Structure 1
Amino acid sequence: MKAFVRNFRASFGPDMGGPMVALVAVLLIFGLAADNFLSMATFGSVAFQLPELGLLTLAMLLPLLTGGINLSITFAANLSGLAAAWVWQTHGGVDAPTSAFLFACLAALGTGAATGALTGVAIAYTRAHPILVTLSMMIFLRGLGEFLTRGGDISGFPSYVGLIGHGSIFGLPVPLLIFLVCVATWHVLLTRSKLGFGLLMIGSNLEAAHYSGLNTRKIVVLVYTLSGIMCAIAGIIMLARFNSVRVGHGESYLLITVLAAFLGGINPFGGFGRVLPVFVALIVLQLLSSGLNLMGANQHLATALWGVLMIVVMAARTLASNSHIFRRKKA
């Protein structure tokens, strides 16, 4: 039995404990408080709503692991969606052929990659703080998007676009399948690639990583470029879900992505963290939101509780860290 427990912990890691406890607690609390919480309707709703927040969280994850942050993720996602919308509009709008789908996706991915690369270059070569650089990029993208759309929405897409946001394959929502593929890709990237090792080294100690022979500038640029690509995927999903694109779509997700990352055990100073605990944390947050909705709570209350949860998580982790240091000194 002890050997089984050791193997289980080795497979999932000690950082999985907090998210799993939170998941069980949410299931128990809302399962008892709301009669229809533990139902297929609830889990189906979560399955369709989770990918939007989840993809943006993955876009935030890599910069956080390097000790940085990307405050422009939602606007990069929407600008990428605008690029895809422009392709469909120029190919006939609702009558755009399926051949336009590839060009629209390439336009979105190229836009996301470009915004991420510009951000990464600015951070890597000027050594400016990521908060300042990404805040500046956020303001730029928002202003550019408002200029291009004149503050309005763009809608009128071919019917096959709706299948991306609302379709199902073998009973599983298409957005969820795309999200799961992205989670698996990020997991492999962080655990099996030199880039994953390098970005964790940078998050632990930038100077040590540089003197160990790593091309830290190249890694930082790649990290933010990949973050931009993930933003583009999120932008395509949001466009398909809402059947429209607007600069402000999903703006409230920004801080929730940071909360999900920290709840999933990501070190706020970089250098440590994994994808799977963050995935569980995202499920917890989405179930919490769905449970409050079923109980008739105002959506603003859910946002407030997410903020309280962030404070509690950070306080608990700080206390646990200080307790560990105290025990080591006492020993």
Structure 2
Amino acid sequence: MPKLTERVNHTFGREVLGLLGLFALTLVAFGLASPQFLSAANFNSIAFQLPDLGLLTLAMLAPIMANGINLAIIAIANLSGLTLAWILNMNGGPDAGVVAFVVGVGAALAVGGASGAAMGATIAYFGAHPILASLAMMIFLKGLGEFLTRGGDISGFPDFLREFGHGAILGIPVPMLVLIAAAILWHVLLARTRHGFAVAMIGSNPRASEYSGVPVKRSITLLYALSGMMCALAGIVMLTRFNSVRVGHGDALLLVTVLACFLGGVDPFGGFGRVAPVFVSLIILQTLSSGLNLLGANQHLSTAVWGLFLVAVMVLRSGTPMLRGLFESVKK
């Protein structure tokens, strides 16, 4: 058992087992409080709701690991969704075929990647602060989206898109399968490739990374480009789920993605982060929201509870070294 624990810690991060314990505690607490909580229908609902937040959180994870941030994740997702919607409408709208959808998905990913690359280049080559660069990109893309849509929704898509947004394979919702595949890809990218190693080094010390031969500017640009493409994937999933596109879709999720990253053990100052703990933290947050809804709590209470979670995580992280030092001093 100790060897298995050590292997899990080494592969997925030391936070995983603790978060799984917290998840189990959450299941027990809400299972006792509400008989409907442990039903298949409730878990199916959680699986359908999780992918939007999950994909956006993955897009936020990588920049934070590099001691940056991407405040434009929602705006990039929505503009990418608008790109797909425009191509579908240009090719018949409800009568558009699979080819138009594939072309639209490619264009949406290209828009997301280009938006992220422009933001990353501004940070890497012009020295702009990540907060300011991503905030400027968010305002620009949101304004552009409002201009193109006149503040309204775009709808009227082919029926086969409903299978992507609401269908299931072997009982697992298709959007959830997309999230799982994206999480695996992100884990491999950040933990098993030279680019992932470069991201961690840049987050720890960008100047030392440059002296070590790491292409810092190129890596940062690529990092934000990949983050933008993950945002685009989230925008595509949201389009298939809601069967419409609007500039304001998902606005409330921005800060929750940051919370999920920190709850999953990502260092807010960069240099460290794992996908698996963040994935588990996402499940915990969505489970909390679902459990509170079943208990009849207001939706805003879920947001308040998420905020308390973030405060508790910060207190525990800052207090653990202090308690360890106090214990060692008493032991001496």
User: Which TM class, normalised by the smaller chain length?
Assistant: over 0.9
1:96 and 2:96 matched: yes
Instruction: Give CA deviations for 1:41-68 in whole Å, capped at 9, x if unaligned.
Output: 1110111111000000000010000000
Q: Could you tell me which residue of structure 1 aligns to residue 41 of structure 2?
A: 41
Q: Could you tell me which residue of structure 2 aligns to residue 211 of structure 1?
A: 211
Measure, in 2, the Cα distance between the counterparts of 1:119 and 1:267. 22
Measure, in 2, the Cα distance between the counterparts of 1:297 and 1:203. 39
Measure, in 2, the Cα distance between the counterparts of 1:12 and 1:188. 11
- The structural deviation recorded for 1:97 is 1.5
Measure, in 2, the Cα distance between the counterparts of 1:60 and 1:198. 17
Q: After the TM superposition, which residues 22-61 of structure 1 pair with which residues of structure 2 at under 5 Å, given as runs?
A: 22-61=22-61
Kept in 1, the 8 Å contact 2:153–2:244? The answer is: yes
Note closer, same or farther for the CA distance 1:91–1:328 as it changes in structure 2 (3 Å cut).
farther
Measure, in 1, the Cα distance between the counterparts of 2:329 and 2:142. 49
1:237 and 2:237 matched: yes
Note closer, same or farther for the CA distance 1:327–1:66 as it changes in structure 2 (3 Å cut).
farther
Q: Which moved more, 1:163-172 or 1:57-66?
A: 163-172
- The structural deviation recorded for 1:107 is 1.2
Note closer, same or farther for the CA distance 1:122–1:17 as it changes in structure 2 (3 Å cut).
same
Instruction: Give CA deviations for 1:29-49 in whole Å, capped at 9, x if unaligned.
Output: 111111111111111011111
Kept in 2, the 8 Å contact 1:77–1:234? The answer is: yes
* Aligned partner of residue 151 in structure 1, secondary structure: coil
* Aligned partner of residue 249 in structure 2, secondary structure: coil
Measure, in 2, the Cα distance between the counterparts of 1:50 and 1:127. 35
Q: Could you tell me which residue of structure 2 aligns to residue 259 of structure 1?
A: 259
1:292 and 2:292 matched: yes
Kept in 2, the 8 Å contact 1:113–1:226? The answer is: yes
Residue segments in structure 1 that go unaligned for 5+ positions in a row: none
Measure, in 2, the Cα distance between the counterparts of 1:204 and 1:327. 29
Q: Could you tell me which residue of structure 2 aligns to residue 193 of structure 1?
A: 193
* Aligned partner of residue 185 in structure 1, secondary structure: helix
Kept in 2, the 8 Å contact 1:52–1:237? The answer is: yes
Kept in 2, the 8 Å contact 1:18–1:263? The answer is: no
Give me the identity figure in percent: 55
- The structural deviation recorded for 1:227 is 0.3
Q: Which moved more, 1:73-82 or 1:306-315?
A: 306-315
- The structural deviation recorded for 1:127 is 1.4
Q: Which moved more, 1:231-240 or 1:26-35?
A: 26-35
- The structural deviation recorded for 1:200 is 0.3
Measure, in 2, the Cα distance between the counterparts of 1:324 and 1:85. 55
Q: Which moved more, 1:60-69 or 1:162-171?
A: 162-171
The count of aligned residue pairs is 331
Q: Which moved more, 1:114-123 or 1:22-31?
A: 22-31
Kept in 1, the 8 Å contact 2:12–2:274? The answer is: no
Note closer, same or farther for the CA distance 1:151–1:34 as it changes in structure 2 (3 Å cut).
same
1:73 and 2:70 matched: no
Q: TM-score, normalised by structure 2?
A: 0.96
* Aligned partner of residue 87 in structure 1, secondary structure: helix
Note closer, same or farther for the CA distance 1:325–1:142 as it changes in structure 2 (3 Å cut).
farther
Q: After the TM superposition, which residues 292-331 of structure 1 pair with which residues of structure 2 at under 5 Å, given as runs?
A: 292-324=292-324
Kept in 1, the 8 Å contact 2:75–2:142? The answer is: yes
Q: Which amino acid aligns with 2:22?
A: A
Aligned CA RMSD, in angstroms, stands at 1.6
Q: After the TM superposition, which residues 132-171 of structure 1 pair with which residues of structure 2 at under 5 Å, given as runs?
A: 132-171=132-171
- The structural deviation recorded for 1:166 is 0.5
Q: Which amino acid aligns with 1:168?
A: A
